[in-house]
Homo-oligomer: A and B are copies of this chain.
Amino acid sequence: MTGVAAIVGGGVIGGAWAARFLLNGWDVRLFDPDPESERKIGAVLANARRALPMLYDRALPQEGALIRAATVGAAVRDAGWVQESVPERLELKHRVLAEIEAAAPSDCVIGSSTSGFKPSELREGARHPARIVVAHPFNPVYLLPLIELVAGDDPDPGVVARAKGILEGIGMFPLHVRKEIDAHIADRFLEAVWREALWLVKDGIATTGGIDEAIRMGFGLRWAQMGLFETYRIAGGEGGMAHFLAQFGPCLSWPWTKLMDVPDLDDELIGKIAAQSDAQSGALSIRELERLRDDNLVAMMRALRARGAASGRVIAAHEATLPATDMAAVPMETVRRTVPVDWTDYNGHMNEGRYGQVFSDAADAVMIHLGADADYIARGLSYFTVETTVKYLVETHAGEPFRVETRILLGQGKKLKLFHEMKRASDGEILATCEQFLLHVSLETRRSCDPAPQVAARVEALSHAHREVGA
C-alpha cells in the first residue's frame, strides 16, 4: 500500500521520514519554512538513497515524487499519513497540529516525532484527538527500524492498526507502547546512560573515546541482537531469569548504584566533552562519520538478516512485500537488486565471490519457480550445483542496480543446465555470465535421482520455451 505522506518539518528527522516514504514508493508533500531545508533534505535523501536499497536482496519499488508544499494545508490535503517533526516546544506542536487537523482527510493518521511529549499532551485542544499519535523514530531514521508508537492509555484500535500497517509497509518496526509516559521507553535508557557517562567524563574516569569502546566492544554487541532481558536470561543459565534475578538483584543496593544525581552541564564540562570528542572523531567530517555509520549498520543488519534475527527479521519481512522479479518473462528475470557496499573489495569493484552468490540466488529463484521449493526440500528432494563457469565481463560497483536473466539450457531427467546473464539495470549491458550445471538429488541417499513428475514437467516446458528464444 502506498499513497501520499505529508512531512511537516524537514530537518534530519523529517527529511529521513520523507526518504523512508519516497524510497518505498509513496509520494511526499513536504512543508518546512526554513530556506535551508531544501539543502538539508537533499543531504539526508542522498544518504538514504545510497544506504537503504543495500539492506535488501530485492529492488525497492519505483521512488515516489517529492513535492514541496507552500503551506501546511497544501502538504496534508490528500495525505494518508502526516508526520510532524517540528522542534520540541509544546505550544508550537499545538499550533502545527491544529493547522494539520484543519486540512487533513479525516481518516489519516497524524504521527508526531516527539521524543518527550505524551499523546495526552499533544492532543490538548484537538478536534479528533484519537488519531494523533506519537511515532518516535531513531537516527538514522532511514535505516533503524524502531518506531515507538504511543496512542495513549485508551487508544483507538483502528488508529493503532492503521498506523502499524503503514509503518510496517515502509519497513519499520512499530513498537506499541501501551501506557503513555514521559520520554516513552528507549530515551529513558539513553538518558540514564548519558547521565552516567557525563559523570565519568567529569570525574576523569574515562574519556568519550574510552566510553565508546566500553560500549561497542562489549554490551553494545549483545544489545544489537538480543536486548537486555534475553541476554540476562542466558546469564542466569539453566536457572533462567528467576535465578539471574536472585544473583544480580542484590547489586541494586551496592554503593555504585547510588550515584544518581544529575551532573551540572556547565561550560567546563561541555568544553571537556567537546575537546575529547574532537580528539576521538575529529579527523572525520560529519558526512564521513555518517557514511561510516550507515555502512556499519547496513553490514550488521544484513548479517542479522542472514540469521533471521532481531532487525534482520524486519528486513526480511519487508523484503517479502517488495516487487518480485518477473519469472514469467522469457528469459526469466531471476534477480533484481543493488550491489551492497559489503560486496566490494580493495579493487573498488564487486568481489569475485559475490558473483557466485548472485548466480546462486538466481538459481534459487529458478528452483522456487520449478516447484523445488522449501516444501520440496522438506520432502527430501533438491537440486545440488555440480559445476559453474562464471565469465566476468565488466566491473560492477557498490550501489549499482542490476538484474539477472536466466534461461534453462538443458532439462533432462536429473540434469539441469542454467545460463545466467547479469545485466546493468540502467543500460542492459552484460556484466557477467554464468553457466551452471545442477543434478537432482535425494537428500536421504545423497545420490542423484529423477525429479518429482510435476517438477520434471515444469523443467521441460520452460526449457522448450527458453530454447526457442535462446537461439
Contacts and interface: CB of A to CB of B under 8 A. Distances in A.
A457 interface: no
Interface string A159-201: 0000000000000010101110111011111111111111010
A45 to B, nearest CB: 15
A324 to B, nearest CB: 19
A409 to B, nearest CB: 16
A309 interface: yes
B224 A148 contact: no
Given A175-B213, A374-B346, A229 B185 contact: no
A208 interface: yes
Given A234-B290, A255-B182, A257-B262, A229 B388 contact: no
B352 A356 contact: yes
Contact of A146 (B177, B193, B214, B280): B214
Contact of A385 (B209, B309, B352): B352
A83 interface: no
B387 A388 contact: no
A342 to B, nearest CB: 6
A131 B274 CA distance: 35
Contact of A225 (B296, B361, B388): B296
A120 interface: no
Interface stretch (A25-33, A92-100, A297-305, A399-407): A297-305
Contacts of A67: none
Interface residues of A, number: 143
A447 interface: no
Interface string A239-262: 011100110110111111101101
Contacts of A446: 395
B297 A221 contact: yes
A426 interface: no
A46 interface: no
Interface in A21-59: none
Contacts of A382: 347
Contacts of A307: 292, 295-296, 299, 342
Given A211-B228, A385-B392, A197 B189 contact: yes
A302 B303 contact: yes
A211 B227 contact: yes
Nearest to A443: B347
Interface stretch (A2-10, A106-114, A137-145, A410-418): A137-145
A278 interface: yes
A346 B255 CA distance: 50
A277 to B, nearest CB: 4
A115 to B, nearest CB: 8
B245 A253 contact: no
B216 A311 contact: yes
A218 B186 contact: yes
A465 interface: no
A241 B361 CA distance: 44
B181 A205 contact: yes
Nearest to A190: B219
Interface in A329-387: 342, 346-347, 351-361, 363, 374, 377, 382, 384-387
> Of residues A205, A229, A292, which shows the largest number of chain B Cβ atoms within 10 Å of its Cβ?
A229
Contacts of A277: 229-230, 233, 240-241
A157 interface: no
B392 A390 contact: no
A427 interface: no
23 contacts: A138-B219, A144-B217, A173-B213, A177-B205, A181-B203, A189-B214, A189-B219, A191-B251, A197-B228, A219-B223, A230-B280, A234-B293, A240-B274, A245-B273, A245-B274, A299-B307, A300-B304, A306-B342, A307-B342, A346-B377, A351-B357, A353-B357, A356-B356
Interface of A: 12, 116, 138-139, 144-146, 148, 173, 175, 177-179, 181-183, 185-198, 200, 203-206, 208-231, 233-238, 240-242, 245-246, 248-249, 251-257, 259-260, 262-263, 265, 270, 273-274, 276-278, 280-282, 286, 289-290, 292-293, 295-297, 299-304, 306-307, 309-311, 314, 342, 346-347, 351-361, 363, 374, 377, 382, 384-392, 395, 443, 446
